């Protein structure tokens, strides 16, 4: 049974005034462009606040670009296509949309119509009424294949919960509502769009995050862009998340701790061998001598790596804005221009 949806007004009573930016990455989804844009407009036809729809075309080659431009022409300037120069992958496309978003609230979702735009008002209402920074969708009844989608997702979610200590049941759901001022403090790259709650935990409290049941539909047009390999990529990015959660401001503590430990082992080995030497034993041909020597050497390398990491982290926090994508320059818009307003 899918999560029920209700008219926007039912959710948005007593919600503070805000502007809403909807960010959608798309790659080779020409068949879904018109149905998706129509579904968003139908879902928000009674939305009482201003909103905009930003669709980041991730280097599509199937006519998605032309279809998006046509929808922008037909619907109005609040539909804002962003065309990346090549396929930078979903995370970079999502970052491009977030960078261009002007709203106080940002909602992200996939453009294949598996996420239901009718759930947007519900997530936004909970975000603002409960003064949260993130409300993530939870697909209670996923309409996906078992072995290529559900099983890898369960494995990844379990690993992520174990490492990050965030009790989210469905981190892979793209449908999420964010407080823009917090989300824009997180830079996305790799496969990080699936780990945004973990990255947001580096700038805000997990107590300001929540999960909300949402609808989920089977794909009816186009082809899925995901396979079993995405689980491996997520696990690799999870290692980076774990490092940043624990050592983002002090990488020298991580490398230094490893270095001191390895050096201590090497020092104990060499001390033991030195005692044997003083007792008159020959230690020149013992493999233990080489092990002790390389442990001390390796420990010193870890220590110097920690120093270099400290320097790099300071460069990271003082860097200029470097985007993980290249895109056509979006039109310069006044703060009050190109919003969808209820008639």
**How much is the pTM?**
0.74
* Mean pLDDT value of segment 228-240: 64
% of the chain beyond a pLDDT of 90: 45
Of the two residues 83 and 186, the one the predictor is more confident about is 83
| Residue 230 pLDDT | 59
Assess whether pLDDT exceeds 70 at residue 8. no
| Residue 258 pLDDT | 84
Helices (H), the chain: 8-12, 30-43, 64-75, 90-100, 120-129, 151-164, 180-183, 196-200, 229-247, 251-278, 287-317
Assess whether pLDDT exceeds 60 at residue 123. yes
* Mean pLDDT value of segment 207-211: 93
| Residue 109 pLDDT | 95
Here the tokens at position 4 are 């029920």
* Mean pLDDT value of segment 63-89: 95
Q: Domains of the chain: which residue ranges?
A: 8-247, 251-317
Which of 325, 250, 285, 263 is CA-nearest to residue 85? 325
Of the two residues 324 and 138, the one the predictor is more confident about is 138
| Residue 122 pLDDT | 95
Could you say which of 3.30.9.10, 3.40.50.740, 3.40.640.10, 3.90.550.10 is the CATH number of the domain covering 8-247? Answer: 3.90.550.10
pLDDT-derived band at 328 (thresholds 50, 70, 90) equals confident
| Residue 125 pLDDT | 96
pLDDT-derived band at 144 (thresholds 50, 70, 90) equals low
Mean pLDDT of the chain: 83
Q: For residue 312, give Cα distances in angstroms to 161, 168, 305.
A: 29, 32, 10
| Residue 317 pLDDT | 56
Residue-wise DSSP of 243-264 = HHHHHTT-HHHHHHHHHHHHHH
Least reliable range by pLDDT among 116-130, 158-172, 289-303: 158-172
* Mean pLDDT value of segment 184-212: 83
Of the two residues 107 and 242, the one the predictor is more confident about is 107
Assess whether pLDDT exceeds 80 at residue 234. no
Assess whether pLDDT exceeds 70 at residue 183. yes
Of the two residues 204 and 156, the one the predictor is more confident about is 204
pLDDT-derived band at 9 (thresholds 50, 70, 90) equals low
Edge-first strand order for the sheet with 176-179 is 79-83, 51-57, 20-26, 105-108, 176-179, 134-139, 209-214
pLDDT tens digit sequence for 258-287: 888 899 999 999 999 999 889 888 888 888
| Residue 1 pLDDT | 41
pLDDT-derived band at 150 (thresholds 50, 70, 90) equals low
* Mean pLDDT value of segment 72-98: 94
* Mean pLDDT value of segment 164-186: 86
């Amino acid at each position: 049974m899918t999560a029920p949806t209700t008219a926007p007004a039912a959710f948005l009573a007593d919600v503070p005034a805000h502007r809403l930016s909807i960010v959608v990455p798309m790659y080779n989804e020409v068949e879904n462009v018109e149905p998706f844009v129509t579904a968003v407009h139908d879902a928000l036809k009674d939305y009482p606040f201003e909103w905009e729809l930003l669709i980041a075309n991730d280097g599509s080659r199937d006519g998605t670009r032309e279809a998006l431009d046509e929808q922008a022409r037909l619907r109005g300037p609040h539909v804002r296509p962003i065309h990346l120069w090549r396929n930078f992958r979903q995370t970079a496309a999502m970052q491009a949309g977030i960078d261009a978003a002007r709203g106080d609230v940002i909602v992200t979702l996939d453009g294949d119509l598996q996420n239901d735009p009718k759930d947007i008002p519900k997530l936004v209402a909970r975000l603002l009424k409960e003064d949260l920074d993130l409300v993530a969708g939870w697909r209670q009844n996923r309409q996906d294949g078992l072995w290529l989608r559900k099983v890898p997702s369960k494995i990844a979610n379990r690993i992520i919960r174990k490492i990050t200590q965030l009790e989210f049941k469905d981190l892979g759901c793209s449908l999420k509502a964010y407080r823009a001022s917090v989300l824009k403090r997180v830079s996305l790259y790799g496969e990080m769009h699936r780990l945004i709650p973990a990255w947001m935990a580096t700038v805000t409290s997990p107590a300001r995050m929540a999960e909300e049941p949402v609808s989920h539909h089977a794909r009816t047009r186009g082809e899925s862009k995901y396979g079993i390999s995405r689980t491996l990529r997520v696990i690799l990015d999870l290692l980076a998340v774990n490092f940043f959660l624990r050592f983002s401001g002090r990488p020298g503590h991580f490398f230094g701790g490893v270095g001191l430990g390895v050096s201590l082992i090497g020092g104990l080995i060499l001390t033991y061998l030195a005692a044997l030497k003083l007792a008159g034993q020959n230690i020149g041909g013992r493999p233990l001598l080489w092990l002790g020597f390389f442990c001390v050497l390796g420990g010193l390398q870890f220590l110097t790596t920690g120093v270099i990491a400290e320097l790099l982290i300071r460069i990271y926090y003082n860097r200029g804005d470097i985007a993980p994508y290249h895109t056509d320059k979006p039109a310069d818009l006044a703060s009050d221009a190109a919003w969808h307003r209820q008639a």
